[in-house]
Amino acid sequence: MAEIKQAALVLQDGTLFEGELIGYEPELGYASGEVVFNTALTGYQEVITDPSYAGQIITFTYPHIGNYGINAEDFESDKPYCRGIIIKDLARRYSNWRSDTSLNTFLTRSKVSGICGVDTRRLTRHIREAGAMPGAFGTADEKTLLAAAQKEPGTSNTDLVAEVTCSEPYFVPAVKQSATNNKKIVALDFGIKRTIIKHLSMIGDVQVVPASTSAEDVLSYKPDGVFLSNGPGDPASVKNAPETIANLLGKVPIFGICLGHQLLGRAIGASTVKMPFGHHGANHPVKNMVSGEIEITSQNHNFAVDTDSLNGKASVTHVNLNDGVCQGLSIYEANAFSVQHHPEAGPGPHDSAYLFSEFDQLMDKVNGGQNA
């Protein structure tokens, strides 16, 4: 049995939580980042490997994590970009016919630290009341952890997209090559999830390009549509992206998800604001303002579009029923739309998966039905 190492988590405001170290033992004796909580009951592998968590430490509110292990197929990126995980109880044994290894082994191999035995109910309540904030955890003493937490900048005013975007363009062919499935989609990678690429490849060929790609270079691929991906951090800090998107508007159909939604808003002059503790989970109710239907959605974001700053440049298509946050935009005359939630899920419900079909139909409409 591996040696149990006592550890602690200290938030920026000095709040202390005790636990045990799991996963990779950090070289400095601690790991630091912005502490957030996720309320999904399953899907811990997809959550940990979602690039949108770059710069953050993930608290899982579900108490028992790791019971079905880790498998080779459910990664959302090539490696985890989160700064660490916080859980109540780590499963000592895993059991699932698809599993390849344990969560603890995966964390160690991926050089991701974690802390278990934490009172995650107390921690989540504290974040809800005080807001998401930087923290540090590890085997270092409390004074060292507090200093690390107070030194940590968090996710505001930081370009985290630069850490997760691809370094070179790459091509993903359509799942089924046929005369009725020959669209060309350029996906701007701000931290794109693999499940999103799978959905797009059901529509056509996908050319994934780095976040810094110019509008001119995007259009040089002669796309039928452009996709704006999810990603981490502050949309106000993503260099040149709003200008690139603004130069694409009206020239090609556009669909954005999560950070892509926020960047579309900024491209038309709207502002974005940081939420107190964000939306991270798989059960958020969203109202489709067009159809009137309620969708249960997967979410992962700390920033949102300020609807008061839209000034009539876009219509709000979706609203979060928990707090009224803008969840969707449509710029009808420019053939562009976006949502804050994740229709691809991974993990989560599939109520909003129809949005990929709407993107498909929009491309057919704009391109004269040549791909219909």
Give the tens place of pLDDT for each residue, 159-176: 999 999 999 999 999 997
> Average of pLDDT values for 254-283?
97
Asked if residue 48 has pLDDT above 80, the reply is: yes
Active site residue 261: no
In angstroms, the CA 76 to CA 232 distance is 14
Asked if residue 369 has pLDDT above 70, the reply is: no
pLDDT at 116: 98
pLDDT at 180: 57
Confidence of residue 44 (pLDDT cuts 50, 70, 90): very high
Q: Which domains does the chain have, with CATH numbers?
A: 6-151 (3.50.30.20), 161-366 (3.40.50.880)
Asked if residue 353 has pLDDT above 50, the reply is: yes
Q: Which amino acid is at 187?
A: A
pLDDT at 71: 97
Select which of 258, 284, 301, 326 is catalytic.
258
The per-residue pLDDT for range 326-341, each reduced to its tens digit, is 999 999 999 999 999 9
Among candidate residues 191, 251, 265, the one with its CA nearest the CA of residue 218: 251
pLDDT at 1: 46
Active site residue 333: no
> Average of pLDDT values for 311-318?
96
> Average of pLDDT values for 338-348?
97
- Percentage of the chain beyond pLDDT 90 is 95
In angstroms, the CA 154 to CA 135 distance is 9
pLDDT at 4: 83
Confidence of residue 372 (pLDDT cuts 50, 70, 90): very low
Tokens of 268: 């038309």
pLDDT at 371: 44
In angstroms, the CA 255 to CA 218 distance is 14
pLDDT at 22: 98
Confidence of residue 3 (pLDDT cuts 50, 70, 90): confident
- To which residue do tokens 């839209």 refer? 310
Tell me phi and psi for residue 37, to 5 degrees: -125, 145
Confidence of residue 303 (pLDDT cuts 50, 70, 90): very high
DSSP 2: P
End-to-end CA distance of the chain: 60
H or E element that contains 93: none
pTM, full prediction? 0.95
- Of 92 and 217, the structure prediction assigns the larger pLDDT to 217
> Average of pLDDT values for 233-247?
97
Tell me phi and psi for residue 106, to 5 degrees: -60, -45
The per-residue pLDDT for range 10-25, each reduced to its tens digit, is 999 999 999 999 999 9
Tokens of 149: 């937490």
Mean pLDDT, the chain, whole residue set? 96
pLDDT at 177: 64
The per-residue pLDDT for range 172-220, each reduced to its tens digit, is 999 976 555 679 999 999 999 999 999 999 999 999 999 999 999 999 9
- Percentage of the chain beyond pLDDT 70 is 97
pLDDT at 370: 47
Three-state secondary structure of 147-183: HHHHHCCCCCCCCCHHHHCCCCCEEECCCCCECCECE
Cβ neighbours of residue 48 closer than 8 Å, sequence gap 6 or more = 58, 80, 82, 85, 112
pLDDT at 182: 78
CA angle in degrees (0–180, nearest 5) for 233-239-240: 130
Confidence of residue 2 (pLDDT cuts 50, 70, 90): low
Active site residue 258: yes
Pairing verdict, β 254-257 and 204-210: unpaired
